[in-house]
Structure formats: C-alpha cells, structure tokens
Chain A
C-alpha cells in the first residue's frame, strides 16, 4: 500500500464517525430540536458495541447493540424534552455527562481487552484494481453505510413528503400543529434516528477505528459533529464535505506533527470550532440564507395547548 493510500484511508476512517453522528443530528435539528447529548450517546454506543461484540464474538451484533444503546439514550432525551418539555440545552448536556459516566462504569471490566475488528469489504476483481481498488471498494461496511445515509437523508429531506413534514415542524411548530401534524411524534422519531446514528458512530470508534475500549474514547467527537451541523448550514452534502475536510485536517496535522513541523495539536483540534464560528458569521450576514436553511424553531420546546 502506497503512502498516499494510507493517508487517504486514515482520513476516511477519521471522518466516518463524525459523519455518522452529524447526519443524525442534522435530521434532529431540522425537526427543530437541539440535542447536545451526541457525545454521551456516542460513548454509550462505543461501550455497549464493544461489550456485546466481546460477549457474542460478532462485531455486527456489537454494532446492532450500539445502535440500540444510542437510541435508548436519545429516547430518554426525547421523553425529557418533548413529553416533559424540559430545557433542551440542559437536558442534552446531562445526557452527555450521564453517557460518559455510565459508559465508564459499564466498560470498567473491558479496559485493555483486545477488541474485535469489523472486517473490510472485499469484492473480487474490483477491490484488487490498482490505485483506486482498495480506496473505493475495500473500505469497512460502515463507511458505505455512512455515505448511503447521507444520500438517503438528503433525498428524504428534499424530495419526500416525510422530509417536507420534518422541515415544516422545524420551521414553525405552531403552524405545523395547526395543520394537524403531530409535532411531538415527528420529533420523537427524528431524535431516535439521531440517537441510532450516534450509537453507530460510537461503535465505529470501538470496533473499527481503535478496536478496544478506552474510557472517554469519543474524545470530543460528538461536539465536533454538532459544530459540523451548523457549519453545513443543515445541508447533508455540505455536511459530508465538512466531515471529510475536518477528518483530513486532523490527519494531515498528525502527519505534519510526526514529521516535526511543529504545529500545535491544540490549534488543529480547535479548527472545527473556528470554522463553525466563521460559518455562523457568514450565515448571519445573509438573512435570506439563514431564513431558508436554519430551522426557525430550533431548541424551542413545544407545548401543543397554546
């Protein structure tokens, strides 16, 4: 494998968990809900995926378990914020803290165990093509799933009635309610979807990226995913580009450090946030853009009686 292939492979592996977590949050925010609990849902996905894979010996069962764990955490968030109408920011933060703590407890017995790694796809002939074969046809399955989810979310949001309803609920929940749509049900479903992909992103970390369990192994990726959603102005295409851009900057930075170029790692890890602030500035200067893309009800609780 040539050096460039290795670099691109690591970039893809670094970007995929960001994309998985962010694409779900994008749907959540499009429905008007701000879930700051991504980090917690991810880390719960990571630990339960790892544990289940250890117990059953199958990475796929682990992945399934991670999705269940992420969804369970998100349903807790949904119950709090939608049914009990608690503050979304505070609830999201507590979900993150709960996830980090609980995962440490669950995972304490698994620290240091050798992990089970999800294999790579191998398609006869195609994967063996020179140069592009391994990159295009030889990734792990979750890479393809993440890209498929992105395309699927883009299609659903833009082209289908379901997507129209999700956007309408996120834009103006009072109007959507007045038209007879169940704001809370739509949001429950979107939050659950976000939890599922966050769990998947966590499983990617503990079963593909570094196949082992380390406490707090999400290392802030949930927050980067959150920043990416804003950076993308809630558009799936830009989200994928952003995820790969950040993944790329991250990995190239690591290589640069390895080669002794003296770029502080703190600077690199702050880049996603700097980019997000810039994106917010650009969005806010263009009223039209912000009206079109920003879910106007974002973060606002909905009480149907009003």
Chain B
C-alpha cells in the first residue's frame, strides 16, 4: 500500500504521515502510524486514554520529534522542528489545556503568540471582526482572568484562525464547553472545512464525531487499528474498535439485600468556607451495606462541599452529623475516618486525589499511611516507610485495574487522565473498604476505563460494602445506583430506589423541586 500512495497523491491530500514511530525509552507511544488528511475534511482521531493520540498530534505540530517515519506536507517530505515551523506551514493547534496569561488582555495574549508579520497595529480590530465573523465573539480588551473557560478557548481558536491555517488540530475541544457553546464551535468548524481547511479532531464523544467528522482513524496501544467512515458506524461499534473488544457491559447482580446502615448523615449543616462555595443545609442520608447510593445534581450545587464534609477534609462541630459504622465522627479528620475502614476518592485526580510530582508508590503512601488493613503496614513509626509493601500494592493495583504507565513507579502526573483515575480508584478499592465515598468516578475517562471502574464499584458493593457515588452523569448513575438522591443548592432530596425514578423526575429535583424555603433553614443554622 505504501508503494502506491505516493502515486495517488492528489492535490486534495494536505498531510500524509507514513510509518511514524515515537519511542520513549522502550515504550512505543506510537508504532508505525499511517494517516492521510485531506483539505476540506474533518478527520477524527479516536482512541482510549494513553492510546497515543496526543503523541501523534504533537509530532505533527512539531512539539515532539518522531523516532522514525516521515511527515509529508503537500507532497513534500519535511521535518517539523518546532511549533513555529508548523505554524509557518499553516498548521494550527488548539490545546486541551490552553496556557493563557490571565493578567493580560485577549489581544495581548494573541499578539504574544503571533509571528511578527501578523502583529499589525489593527490587530485588535481584526480580532474583533474575525471572531464575530466566525460566531465566536471576543472583546480584545477583556482580561483573560474575567473570561469563562469557553471564552478562553475562543481566544486559542481565533489565534489559530488569524494565521489562516490549512490544517487545524483540535484536542478534545468540547470537554470544557456547554452544549450551546459546542454547537457554535461545530458551526465554525463546518465553515472552516467548507473554506478548504482540514481539521484533525480529537474527541472522546463518539456522537459528536459521528455528527461532525468525515473520516476517522482509531488508535489503540499506539497503533492504528481502524480507518473508517464514522457516518457508517454506530457509537458502540466505534467504541468497540477503541477498546478492542465490545465494551464490557456492566453486570448488575440484582438479587441482593441491603444490610445494616454503615454511613449515615444526620442533619448535616455546614457553612461554606470560601466566598463562592455552597452551604450545606440539613442533609440526611443513609447508605447500607451492599448498596450503592448515587447523588445526582448539576455541577456546583454543593457536591464538593458534601464530599469534604463526609471525608473529614472539613470537620463539623456536630459529632453526629456524620456517622460511620456507628461511630459519630463529625470532628474526626480524614485519617480518623479512614481508620474506620472507609475510603474516599475525590473528584480532582491530579492535585487532590494524587500529587502529580510524586511517584505512584508515594501516592499510595499518602492515602494509606494511617491505616493498616492487611497484616503489613506501609508505614511504621520510627521503622519508616515499607517500600516493598508499597511496591507490592502498586503492582497489584496496576494489574487489577489495568493502569498503564511508562514505568512501573512513574510520576503520577505523567499518567494519562484515564489511567490516573484507574490508579486513584484502584488504590482505595484495593483496601476493600467497608464504606466508600467517591466523587465523579469516571469524569473525563474513556469508555473502557469507565466500564472497568463501574464494574469494580458494583463488585465491591455486592461484597457487602456501602458505596456513595456523587456524579453528574445520569447514564452512570442509572448504571450503578440502587438508590438515587439529588442535590441542589446544598439541599439533598430523599433517596428513592433507582428502579422507581425517571430522568424527568431527577431533572425536576435538580432544579430544586425538593428545596425547603432557605430562610427557615438558615434560621436553624445560625
């Protein structure tokens, strides 16, 4: 196939990647990748976390140098030394985590990133007209610190557009957008392809790929496993290609009985300690052995505060506000609660659930140092840290929960999002805790990893543990929960059996149908 492709080089083909390989040490992040991008088409790049999408894209953008293989731009083989070269060729990239200068204005940010010939005096006007023209309005004089995440992304897109790109690379652009903002972005991308620009679109959201993209390349373990037309596939067949087998259906074992109450919240009240936080108002909840209770709700309605109150990151004056296994622990700190055979997994995996600069074993020590579940403690007073035991736990977690990293004891921050999440969840599940509280278990995680994590949660509950899941993903909640409660503005609805609840009912509760008038509540609180 490679011998004919050069003959076939039609003027349509903008970029061709041949047998591109990138190795980090012995680990092949990309193995002999072939990819053809045509002008005027949107090409999806799909794959699980850690499949090598970012590595491939960084080589095309010049941020990484390939170990072997070639990149052919408009029929000419060339070397893209750095991002500046890529930009000169007409390759623009919108990063997933865009690095803007908060204290500078929109125009200043864009100006810093433009080549000299584009830094004209009318730059501010051009930003305003171009952004309006493409339906992404931006005020060039606004400070980035004052903008929403969606608006910040527009800055990156407009910066790329100013350079009149021939190829625009977008790395999971909708992850940070509201549905309305995403629609506006799709309109912009469609217009760009009509104008002859090629778009390389990385996404997890398969529906979106079907809606937007003309071709798709699917990577798995750093290799191309399929090149296909997403219009002819369903979301589930796409997912199959990504994961390699059909996505593991999460198995429920419905015949079970909830046992004794292991976690109880009694009139939990807590004033927020940050100016933009949510006060928790009279929260009551019971989680029994053998069941999963899920708390649904729109982001920012007190989920983080509730998690902190239950985990003990935020203690409560009222001893009985949180009762774990019959122990009133309102004033116990997080380690005291962990010692009650309880485990916690916070929402933010990098920075809260794990320290990015620390190795995996060090991260295990961080949440394990105070508890001795097995016979062998990981830390023993003056005897110091038991590195052997930590390594054993680490490799066990990596095996059981399929955590993929460049080396066995890599830095936590070097893992991809899905793998780090599997690690953080696996680290706690490995203890087989009697009570588990987990916030957003599969946020930003690909389908394969999500199914694995959900199955692990169900399995744990069926062994008799009580599990509380806080999630914003209704699909996940219906997949997992035996009972569902809804949080809205710091108030929690009564929990009902999942089988008796519909999405409509939950939607009503999310908008506050169960809320009591807040003035009586605050009278009680103060």
Q: A172, B145: Cβ atoms under 8 Å?
A: no
Nearest-neighbour CB distance to chain A for B476, whole angstroms, equals 34
Q: B113, A292: Cβ atoms under 8 Å?
A: no
Alpha-carbon distance between A138 and B517 when the two chains are bound, in angstroms: 72
Which of A165, A178, A291 lies in contact with B103, CB distance below 8 A? A291
Q: Is A25 an interface residue (CB 8 A)?
A: no
Q: A296, B103: Cβ atoms under 8 Å?
A: yes
Q: Is B84 an interface residue (CB 8 A)?
A: yes
Contact (A178, B99) CB under 8 Å given A164-B104, A171-B104: yes
Which of B103, B119, B146 lies in contact with A171, CB distance below 8 A? B103
Chain B contacts of A179 at CB under 8 A? 112-113
Nearest-neighbour CB distance to chain A for B156, whole angstroms, equals 12
Q: Is B512 an interface residue (CB 8 A)?
A: no
Which of A175, A181, A292 lies in contact with B100, CB distance below 8 A? A175
Q: Is B72 an interface residue (CB 8 A)?
A: no
Alpha-carbon distance between A174 and B101 when the two chains are bound, in angstroms: 10
Q: A291, B102: Cβ atoms under 8 Å?
A: yes
Which residue of chain A has the shortest Cβ distance to B101 in the bound complex?
Answer: A171
Q: Is B333 an interface residue (CB 8 A)?
A: no
Which residue of chain A has the shortest Cβ distance to B108 in the bound complex?
Answer: A164
Number of contacting residues on B, CB 8 A?
17
Nearest-neighbour CB distance to chain A for B119, whole angstroms, equals 8
Q: Is A293 an interface residue (CB 8 A)?
A: yes
Q: B101, A175: Cβ atoms under 8 Å?
A: yes
Which residue of chain B has the shortest Cβ distance to A172 in the bound complex?
Answer: B101
Which residue of chain A has the shortest Cβ distance to B95 in the bound complex?
Answer: A178
Q: B143, A175: Cβ atoms under 8 Å?
A: no
Number of A-B contacts (CB under 8 A): 48
Chain A residues numbered 166-198 whose CB sits less than 8 Å from any CB in chain B: 167-168, 171-172, 174-176, 178-181
Which residue of chain B has the shortest Cβ distance to A167 in the bound complex?
Answer: B104
Alpha-carbon distance between A171 and B112 when the two chains are bound, in angstroms: 13
**Chain B 78-106: CB-based contact to A (< 8 A → 1; otherwise 0):** 00001110000000000000011111100
Which of A172, A288, A293, A294 lies in contact with B99, CB distance below 8 A? A172
Which residue of chain A has the shortest Cβ distance to B144 in the bound complex?
Answer: A291
Q: Is B111 an interface residue (CB 8 A)?
A: yes
Chain B residues numbered 98-139 whose CB sits less than 8 Å from any CB in chain A: 99-104, 108, 111-113, 119
Alpha-carbon distance between A274 and B75 when the two chains are bound, in angstroms: 68
Alpha-carbon distance between A182 and B121 when the two chains are bound, in angstroms: 24
Q: A293, B103: Cβ atoms under 8 Å?
A: yes
Q: B102, A180: Cβ atoms under 8 Å?
A: no
Alpha-carbon distance between A289 and B39 when the two chains are bound, in angstroms: 46
Q: A167, B103: Cβ atoms under 8 Å?
A: yes
Chain A residues numbered 284-306 whose CB sits less than 8 Å from any CB in chain B: 288, 291-294, 296
Q: A175, B104: Cβ atoms under 8 Å?
A: no
Q: A180, B84: Cβ atoms under 8 Å?
A: yes
Interface size class of A (residues with CB under 8 A): 20 to 34
Chain B contacts of A171 at CB under 8 A? 101-104
Q: A174, B99: Cβ atoms under 8 Å?
A: yes
Alpha-carbon distance between A167 and B103 when the two chains are bound, in angstroms: 9
Task: Tell me which of B101, B104, B146 has the highest count of chain A C-beta atoms within 10 A of its own C-beta.
Answer: B101
Which of B82, B83, B102 lies in contact with A296, CB distance below 8 A? B102
Chain A contacts of B99 at CB under 8 A? 172, 174-175, 178
Alpha-carbon distance between A181 and B82 when the two chains are bound, in angstroms: 13
Q: A164, B111: Cβ atoms under 8 Å?
A: yes
Q: A168, B112: Cβ atoms under 8 Å?
A: yes
Nearest-neighbour CB distance to chain A for B417, whole angstroms, equals 19
Alpha-carbon distance between A181 and B112 when the two chains are bound, in angstroms: 9
Chain B contacts of A288 at CB under 8 A? 145-146
Q: A292, B84: Cβ atoms under 8 Å?
A: no
Chain A contacts of B83 at CB under 8 A? 178, 180
Alpha-carbon distance between A194 and B108 when the two chains are bound, in angstroms: 25
Q: B103, A180: Cβ atoms under 8 Å?
A: no
Alpha-carbon distance between A69 and B171 when the two chains are bound, in angstroms: 51
Nearest-neighbour CB distance to chain A for B293, whole angstroms, equals 36
Alpha-carbon distance between A296 and B100 when the two chains are bound, in angstroms: 12
Chain B contacts of A178 at CB under 8 A? 83, 99
Chain A contacts of B104 at CB under 8 A? 164, 167-168, 171
Chain B contacts of A175 at CB under 8 A? 99-101
Chain B contacts of A161 at CB under 8 A? 111, 119
Q: A292, B103: Cβ atoms under 8 Å?
A: yes
Chain A contacts of B103 at CB under 8 A? 167, 171, 291-294, 296
Alpha-carbon distance between A288 and B113 when the two chains are bound, in angstroms: 24
Alpha-carbon distance between A178 and B113 when the two chains are bound, in angstroms: 9
Chain A contacts of B145 at CB under 8 A? 288, 291-292
Chain B contacts of A164 at CB under 8 A? 104, 108, 111-112
Which residue of chain B has the shortest Cβ distance to A290 in the bound complex?
Answer: B103
Which residue of chain B has the shortest Cβ distance to A164 in the bound complex?
Answer: B108
Nearest-neighbour CB distance to chain B for A157, whole angstroms, equals 12
Nearest-neighbour CB distance to chain B for A17, whole angstroms, equals 30
**Chain A 140-167: CB-based contact to B (< 8 A → 1; otherwise 0):** 0000000000000000000001001101
Chain A contacts of B111 at CB under 8 A? 161, 164
Chain A contacts of B84 at CB under 8 A? 180
Alpha-carbon distance between A183 and B225 when the two chains are bound, in angstroms: 41
Which residue of chain A has the shortest Cβ distance to B87 in the bound complex?
Answer: A180
Nearest-neighbour CB distance to chain A for B406, whole angstroms, equals 16
Which residue of chain B has the shortest Cβ distance to A175 in the bound complex?
Answer: B99
Contact (A165, B101) CB under 8 Å given A180-B83, A180-B84, A291-B145: no
Chain B residues numbered 21-63 whose CB sits less than 8 Å from any CB in chain A: none
Chain A contacts of B146 at CB under 8 A? 288
Chain A contacts of B112 at CB under 8 A? 164-165, 168, 176, 179, 181
Nearest-neighbour CB distance to chain B for A137, whole angstroms, equals 38
**Chain A 99-118: CB-based contact to B (< 8 A → 1; otherwise 0):** 00000000000000000000
Alpha-carbon distance between A184 and B233 when the two chains are bound, in angstroms: 51
Chain B residues numbered 409-432 whose CB sits less than 8 Å from any CB in chain A: none
Alpha-carbon distance between A294 and B100 when the two chains are bound, in angstroms: 16
Which residue of chain A has the shortest Cβ distance to B115 in the bound complex?
Answer: A180
Which of A167, A168, A180 lies in contact with B82, CB distance below 8 A? A180
Nearest-neighbour CB distance to chain A for B307, whole angstroms, equals 24
Nearest-neighbour CB distance to chain B for A84, whole angstroms, equals 21
Chain A contacts of B143 at CB under 8 A? 292
Nearest-neighbour CB distance to chain A for B120, whole angstroms, equals 12
Chain A residues numbered 89-145 whose CB sits less than 8 Å from any CB in chain B: none
Residue numbers of A with Cβ under 8 A of B are 161, 164-165, 167-168, 171-172, 174-176, 178-181, 288, 291-294, 296
What are 13 inter-chain pairs, A to B, with CB distance below 8 A?
A164-B112, A168-B104, A171-B102, A172-B99, A172-B100, A172-B101, A172-B102, A175-B99, A180-B84, A291-B145, A292-B103, A292-B143, A293-B103
10 closest residue pairs by CB, A with B: A175-B99, A291-B145, A171-B101, A292-B103, A179-B113, A171-B103, A168-B101, A172-B101, A168-B112, A291-B102
Question: Given A167-B101, A171-B102, A175-B99, 5 other A-B contacts at CB below 8 A?
Answer: A161-B119, A164-B108, A168-B101, A291-B145, A292-B143
